[in-house]
Chain A
Amino acid sequence: GAVVSQHPSRVICKSGTSVKIECRSLDFQATTMFWYRQFPKQSLMLMATSNEGSKATYEQGVEKDKFLINHASLTLSTLTVTSAHPEDSSFYICSAKARLVAHDTQYFGPGTRLTVL
């Protein structure tokens, strides 16, 4: 099946620093990648939709200047949390939609646990 990787799996940083999270589709080309955030004991909430070569589309309430998304190729999208604060601590998960897969199936990465001290 389709494999999506994320790096790093865990990151701890000081308040005010920036953190970059990578999302890669390993064996397929992803026309679209998505970034989700999941707080403890809650479901996944969509943050933004990323299309290769174009600007990301952010969901309402998500600050685009704080969560920078770059989708430079069909296999890589990055999420940078700028000037991170403790309230940004969360589980960040990316997903990728394969170019030739029908319907709305997405393949998810293993997630990145961000802890901001």
Chain B
Amino acid sequence: TQLLEQSPQFLSIQEGENLTVYCNSSSVFSSLQWYRQEPGEGPVLLVTVVTGGEVKKLKRLTFQFGDARKDSSLHITAAQTGDTGLYLCAGGRRALTFGSGTRLQVQP
């Protein structure tokens, strides 16, 4: 079973601050996805990273896939209140295994 551990589990910051969320595994993944989920809604795909060492940017969000494809990180620059939500990494060949999630609260 491929397990994904996310850290931190919870993060409360002020608007304008930067933050990084980590997703780690002892297994190699062919790809990893990052999702954001808001209360009462399904996860929304943010990005898929495929190549080891790959860096993808989505406005203020920067996603990196580790060289060995066992870990990934999400960095948010100048967080906004609209970034509040549950961030999930996920990977798997067929069915997705989800990380434990990082709950981000951005205070105005």
Contact = CB atoms under 8 A, between A and B. Distances in A.
Given A93-B43, A107-B45, A44 B88 contact: yes
Interface in B91-108: 91-101, 103
A113 interface: yes
Interface residues of A, number: 24
B96 A106 contact: yes
Given A34-B96, A43-B98, A95-B96, A105 B42 contact: no
Contacts of B82: none
Nearest to B33: A105
Contacts, number: 61
Interface of A: 4, 6, 32, 34, 41-46, 49, 91, 93, 95, 103-111, 113
Interface of B: 30-31, 33, 35, 40-45, 48, 50, 88, 91-101, 103
21 contacts: A4-B42, A6-B42, A34-B96, A42-B101, A43-B88, A43-B99, A43-B101, A44-B88, A44-B98, A46-B95, A46-B97, A49-B95, A91-B40, A95-B42, A103-B30, A103-B48, A104-B91, A107-B45, A108-B43, A108-B45, A110-B42
